[in-house]
A and B are shown apart, each in its own frame.
Chain A
Amino acid sequence: MMHNDAIVEVKGVGKTYDGGVEALKDVALAFPRGQLSTLLGPSGCGKTTLLKIIAGLIPPNTGEVWVKGRKVHGPGPERAFVFQDFALLPWANVLRNVAFGLELQGVPREQRHEIARRHIAEVGLGGFESSYPNQLSGGMKQRVGLARALAVDADIILMDEPFSSVDEQTRRKFQEELLDLLRHKQKTVIFVTHSIEEAAYLSDQIVLLSPRPGTVSRIIRPGIERSKGPDEIRRDQHYLDAVDEIWQILKQYVV
C-alpha cells in the first residue's frame, strides 16, 4: 500500500511576512500520491501558509514547490482548494457555487450544471441545488465547498481546516463520509487541522509542525488499516498510539 512517488514536493520553503514575522523556515516535505496527509500543529505554526504556498496562492520567499514534476508558479488545474470560511458566493445558489470552478474554465452551462449536480448528490446535498448559502448550515456550506473542489476534477485537494467552523457531530459524520468518498476517488489530499484526533483518524501521513517559525517537527504514519469501519478505527491500537504520540510532541509547544 506504500506509494513512493510523491505528487507534491516542498523543497526548502521559507516565508517571512511583511513586518518581519517568519511563518515558515526551511520546510522540506513530500506528499505521496493518492494518500491523505495532514498538516498539524499549534496555531501560528504556519500550516495554512504552507497549504496556500502549495496552492500557489502565496509565493514563498525561499524554496520551491513541485507538483507532478513541475515547479509551481501559481494555482493550477491539478489542485483544488477547500476554504476554512467556505468562500461561497452569497448571491449564487448551490448549483452555481459548485459549478463555479467550471464556469471560470469556460465549461458550457448545461455541461457544468450536469457535473455539478452529480457532485452535489455525492456530498449528500441532493435537493439543495437552488438553495442559497445563507440558508445552509456550516456543515452543508462546507459540503458545497468540497463539491466545488471535486467538480473541477483535480488530482490534489487542499483543505484548509475545513471542519473548524462545524459542530462536533457534523464534523464526525463529515469525516467519515470524506474518507468514504476519497477512498473511491484516488485523490491526493492535503489537509490542515489543529485537531489531533482528526489528524490521526483521517491520515495516512501526519506532518507535525513546530511553531514560529514553522518547521517540520516529525512525520507520523499511523498505519491504520483503512478497510475498517469508523468505529473500529477509533478503537484501533494504531489510532490510539498515533493520538498519544502526537500529543507527546505537541505538548511541548503548548505554553
Chain B
Amino acid sequence: MRHPAPPLAALRCRSRRTPAEHESVKPRRLVASHVAWQLISFAFFFGVWEIAGRWPVSAAFPPFSQTLLALVAMIADGSLAKAYVSTLQPLLIGIVLCGIAGVGFGIGMGLSRTVEWLTLPVFIILQAAPMAAMIPLITYLYGIGLTSKVLAVVFLAAPVIVMNSYKGIRNTNPSLVQMCRAFLGTRRQEVVKIILPYAAALIFAGLRLGLAMGFIGIVIAELLITPTGIGDLITYHSSVAEYPSMFAAITSIIAVAALTLYGLERLERALFPPEIRGS
C-alpha cells in the first residue's frame, strides 16, 4: 500500500544502473541495521573496488583510491561545484513544476471522475513509455537548451507523482469519509480534513520517488541532448581517457542522489510516522 505497484515497477525497470536503486532498496536496510555494519559494508565495497581496479579488470576501470583523488581534485578546482549548479537547475525546476502541477492533477483525478477520465490514460502511457526514446523528439521541438532538460525531468518524474497523489486520494478509508458525512461535514471539509491528510503520506512518497526519477531524467538528458553539468564531466573525461575523473563524476552523482533520497525518506518517516499516518 505504501508504494503502489505501477510507479515502483516503472522505477525498478529503469533503475538498474542508476541512483534510484540506492533509493529504493538500500535505505530501508540501512535504517534497520547498526551504523557499524553500514560502515563495514561501505569499507568492504570500496575494498573490493580497490582490488578490482588494481587487478586490473579493465584499463578503463580505476581503483577506488585514484577515483577518490580525482574527486578531491575536482572539488578543489571547483569544476564539480560548477557542474552541479548546471545539473541541479533543470532538476529543481522540473521537480517544482511536477510538485505543483503533478500533485494538483493527481488530486484532481482522485476527486473528480471527469478529470480522471480525461487525464488518467495520458499518465498511464507516460509511465510505460521508454523516456530515452522521446528525447530526440523533445530536442527536435525545444532545442538543446534548458527547456528540453526540464522537460526530460518532468516526463520522467510526473507520472509517479501524479499516480501516487491519485492513489492516495482514491485509497482514503471510506469509513472516515462516511463518518465525516454523518457528522454533517461539507464536501470541502471532507476533502480538507479527511481526504488530503489521509493521502498526504502517499503524496509525499510520490514526490520522493519523482525526485528519484528526476535524477535519472537529468542524467539521461545531459548525456543524450547536450553534455552539460555532470553529464559533461562524464562524457569529457571519458573522451580524453581520464577514467578516474569520469568515475569520480559518476560516483558523486550516485552519492548525491542516494543521500538526498535517503534524507527525504527520513523526513517522510518523521513527518508521517507509520502509527499515525492514514495511508
* A binding-site residues for B, Cβ under 8 Å: 55-57, 74-77, 79-81, 83, 85, 87, 89-91, 100-101, 103-105, 132, 134-135, 148, 152
Which residues does chain A contribute within 8 Å of B178, judged by CB atoms? 57, 83, 87
Residue ID in chain B nearest A84 by CB atoms: B175
Contact check, B181 vs A87: say whether CB atoms are below 8 A apart: no
Q: A75-B182, A87-B179, A91-B278 are in contact. List 8 more A-B contacts (CB 8 A).
A: A80-B182, A81-B183, A83-B179, A87-B176, A90-B275, A104-B180, A104-B189, A134-B275
Q: Does B82 contact A (CB under 8 A)?
A: no
> How far is it, in angstroms, between the C-alpha of A133 and the C-alpha of B278 when the chains are bound?
12
Between A56, A90, A148, the greatest number of chain B beta carbons within 10 A of the residue's beta carbon is seen for A90
Between B175, B184, B193, B197, the greatest number of chain A beta carbons within 10 A of the residue's beta carbon is seen for B184
Task: Say whether, besides A87-B175, A89-B176, A89-B194, A104 and B183 are in contact (CB < 8 Å).
Answer: yes
Which residues does chain A contribute within 8 Å of B186, judged by CB atoms? 104
> How far is it, in angstroms, between the C-alpha of A152 and the C-alpha of B193 when the chains are bound?
18
Q: Chain B, 189-200, contact with A by CB distance < 8 Å: what is the 0/1 string?
A: 100011001000
A-B contact pairs, 15 of them (CB 8 A): A55-B182, A57-B181, A75-B184, A80-B182, A81-B179, A81-B182, A81-B183, A87-B175, A87-B176, A89-B176, A89-B194, A89-B197, A91-B276, A91-B277, A104-B185
Residue ID in chain B nearest A100 by CB atoms: B183
Return B185 CB to nearest CB of chain A, in Å. 4
Contact check, B181 vs A75: say whether CB atoms are below 8 A apart: yes
Contact check, A104 vs B184: say whether CB atoms are below 8 A apart: yes
Select A101's contact among B175, B183, B194, beta carbons within 8 Å: B183
Contact check, A132 vs B193: say whether CB atoms are below 8 A apart: no
Contact check, A105 vs B278: say whether CB atoms are below 8 A apart: no
Task: Say whether, besides A57-B178, A87-B179, A89-B176, A77 and B184 are in contact (CB < 8 Å).
Answer: yes
* B binding-site residues for A, Cβ under 8 Å: 173, 175-176, 178-186, 189, 193-194, 197, 275-278
Is chain B's interface secondary structure helix, strand, loop, or mixed overall? helix
> How far is it, in angstroms, between the C-alpha of A105 and the C-alpha of B185 when the chains are bound?
7
Contact check, A132 vs B276: say whether CB atoms are below 8 A apart: yes
Q: Which 9 A-B pairs have the closest CB atoms?
A: A87-B179, A101-B183, A81-B182, A104-B185, A134-B275, A87-B175, A91-B276, A75-B182, A104-B183
Which residues does chain B contribute within 8 Å of A76, judged by CB atoms? 184
> How far is it, in angstroms, between the C-alpha of A104 and the C-alpha of B186 when the chains are bound?
8
Residue ID in chain A nearest B183 by CB atoms: A101
Return B239 CB to nearest CB of chain A, in Å. 53
Contact check, B179 vs A91: say whether CB atoms are below 8 A apart: no
Contact check, A83 vs B175: say whether CB atoms are below 8 A apart: yes
Between B182, B184, B197, B276, the greatest number of chain A beta carbons within 10 A of the residue's beta carbon is seen for B182
Return A205 CB to nearest CB of chain B, in Å. 23
Select A152's contact among B183, B189, B278, beta carbons within 8 Å: B183
Which residues does chain B contribute within 8 Å of A74, judged by CB atoms? 181
> How far is it, in angstroms, between the C-alpha of A90 and the C-alpha of B179 when the chains are bound?
13
Which residues does chain A contribute within 8 Å of B175, judged by CB atoms? 83, 85, 87
Return B268 CB to nearest CB of chain A, in Å. 14
Residue ID in chain B nearest A86 by CB atoms: B175
> How far is it, in angstroms, between the C-alpha of A134 and the C-alpha of B182 when the chains are bound?
23
Task: Say whether, besides A75-B181, A87-B178, A104 and B276 are in contact (CB < 8 Å).
Answer: no
> How far is it, in angstroms, between the C-alpha of A116 and the C-alpha of B189 when the chains are bound?
20
Contact check, B182 vs A90: say whether CB atoms are below 8 A apart: no
Which residues does chain B contribute within 8 Å of A81, judged by CB atoms? 179, 182-183
Select A104's contact among B173, B193, B197, B275, beta carbons within 8 Å: B193
Which residues does chain A contribute within 8 Å of B183, judged by CB atoms? 75, 80-81, 100-101, 104-105, 148, 152
Return A65 CB to nearest CB of chain B, in Å. 14
Which residues does chain B contribute within 8 Å of A103, judged by CB atoms? 193
Residue ID in chain A nearest B176 by CB atoms: A87
Which residues does chain A contribute within 8 Å of B173, judged by CB atoms? 87
Task: Say whether, besides A75-B182, A75-B184, A85-B175, A91 and B197 are in contact (CB < 8 Å).
Answer: yes
Residue ID in chain B nearest A75 by CB atoms: B182
Return B40 CB to nearest CB of chain A, in Å. 35
Return B169 CB to nearest CB of chain A, in Å. 16
Return B22 CB to nearest CB of chain A, in Å. 30
Return A231 CB to nearest CB of chain B, in Å. 35
> How far is it, in angstroms, between the C-alpha of A67 and the C-alpha of B175 when the chains are bound?
23
> How far is it, in angstroms, between the C-alpha of A243 and the C-alpha of B160 when the chains are bound?
57
